[in-house]
Amino acid sequence: MMKTILSIIGILLGILLICLCIALVRTLLTPGKVSEYKAPEADERAMDYAKKLSAMVQCDTTSHDSVVDYECFAKLHRVLEELFPLVHEKLERTDIDGNLLYYWKGESSEKPIVLMSHQDVVPAEGEWIHEPFSGDIADGKVWGRGTSDTKCSVFGFFQAVEELLAEGLTPPQDIYLSSSCTEEWAGDGCPKLVAELKRRGVKPYLVCDEGGGIITDPVGGIHGNFAMVGVFEKGKADLRFTARSNGGHASAPKAGSPIARIAAFVNEMETKDPFKRKMLPEVQSMFETLAPYASFPLKLVFGNMWLFKPVLLKVMPMFSAQGGAMLKTTIAFTMQKGSDAYNVMPQEATLGANMRFIPHQGMEESLAIVKQKAEKHDLTVEVFHASDYSKSTDINGEGFRHFVRIIEESFPKLPVSPYVMTGATDARCYQDICANIVRFAPVVYGPEQMAGMHGLNETIEYNCLPGCVDFYKNLIRAKA
């Protein structure tokens, strides 16, 4: 019996060794690649664009949950009229509670395109190097809240249409420019715009929103700029967990206090991850696309998913939070409150969390898991702002391939890869009327820009703005 077991183990080890040798040979035979794309040096055109973006950033369009200050958006609209006079003269404009929709009639209405990005920005807190709504132009950058998230995109497609109108172009297909003012808190702005398109019977062939971009060093060990195109986004929900008791004086604490129960719940969720990990086709395609650009160990793993996928599923969350979030539902604990005094046991303690749902374990199943764990610790659960994951664009379909061709035409030598949006955008609102939804802002997001979005000192390097405008021009001119 022992000999049989040892024989089986030997055979398995032999097979594993053969597989490793095959993977090693395949990796050695795969030519290494380098991303060579860099935005050109800033010129007079880039500076002109920077000034326009600066004027837009100087409009404070901060939005808050369920609160819309129409006047702050009206100020931005007046600036848009001044900056892009032909757009406002030639296109049909619809304003729905500050949410904007522009229609440019093309030669055909069969494959309309929607170019979209939002007007609103998150609050600007803390101490900034340049005031958050100064729109200062310094050190090769435009500074201020909204520069990269995402007035750069709004500027880009408005400027593209302005220049094409000046050329006398009639686009091959109908073009819609769409911009909501409630994106940052998942408000009803974009749904109102989509409802208007539905009323008109418009079914877009392609929708291009923010979300992806030209990302510098997208994964550890992979260097350079890459066009990362979001093809779907995870669902999300905000949750509040509540633990209750009779309170009491802290000098005689009872076991199982509200905070202790919440702490035990958090510890269990953090140390015994209840969510399934799975390599979705879009995520696998991303790793395989990036493999030739990776250092040798990553190239070996990413380029041989047939062998290393189980290992990657296990270790990815350990060394990359972003990569791990593409494999499973996540929960992040973000807010906590207990007693208002050090010597008083709380009668009630609350915990806030944010969840992001993955397709293989969607909203309903993921919430059920969390509620079951919370009940074990005698916590009640309230769910707010819940929405499930979006449908994925077919990465092998003609719509996606058409979009990739436009990127390659606009940004020579820039590698293109699909990826999963772990955040949320307005684009998900279009999934009922459009099959080809891509999330890609055609600007360069380096480490500084990534850190500045929703953080301090948000900027955009303005040398990338001409490429942004040219991309939208190419997308508008192209025949799908």
Amino acid at 6: L
pLDDT the model gives residue 65: 81
Q: What is the DSSP annotation of 448-470?
A: HHHHHTTSSS-EEEGGGHHHHHH
Neighbours of 8 (CB within 10 A): 10
Query: What is the value of pTM for the model shown?
Result: 0.91
Alpha carbon distances (Å) from 161 to 42, 351, 440, 478: 22, 47, 18, 14
Distance CA 30, CA 292 (A): 7
Give the domain 44-233+391-477 fold.
Answer: Aminopeptidase (3.40.630)
Neighbours of 280 (CB within 10 A): 17
pLDDT the model gives residue 251: 83
Q: Where are the domains of the chain?
A: 44-233+391-477, 235-387
Q: What is the mean pLDDT of the chain?
A: 93
For residues 30 and 155, the model is more confident at 155
3-state secondary structure of 267: helix
Per-residue pLDDT tens for 120-173? 999 999 999 999 999 999 999 999 999 999 999 999 999 999 999 999 999 999
Per-residue pLDDT tens for 302-361? 999 988 999 889 888 887 888 889 999 999 999 999 988 999 899 999 999 999 999 999
Distance CA 92, CA 85 (A): 13
Domain 235-387 has CATH 3.40.50.2300: no
Backbone phi and psi for residue 128, each to the nearest 5 degrees, phi listed first: -105, 150
Distance CA 229, CA 213 (A): 7
Q: Is the pLDDT of residue 368 over 90?
A: yes
- As a whole number of Å, the end-to-end CA separation of the chain is 66
Mean pLDDT over 90-116 rounds to 97
Per-residue pLDDT tens for 377-414? 999 999 998 999 999 999 999 999 999 999 999 999 99
Q: Is the pLDDT of residue 93 over 70?
A: yes
Q: Is the pLDDT of residue 5 over 80?
A: no
Measure CA 67 to chain center: 23
Residue with tokens 């942004």: 468
Mean pLDDT over 63-92 rounds to 92
**Burial class of 115 by CB neighbour count within 10 A (0 to 12, 13 to 18, 19+):** buried
**Helices H / strands E in the chain, number of each:** 15, 17
pLDDT the model gives residue 90: 98
**Burial class of 244 by CB neighbour count within 10 A (0 to 12, 13 to 18, 19+):** middle
Per-residue pLDDT tens for 458-478? 999 999 999 999 999 999 999
HSE-up of residue 275 (Cα within 13 Å, Cβ side): 29
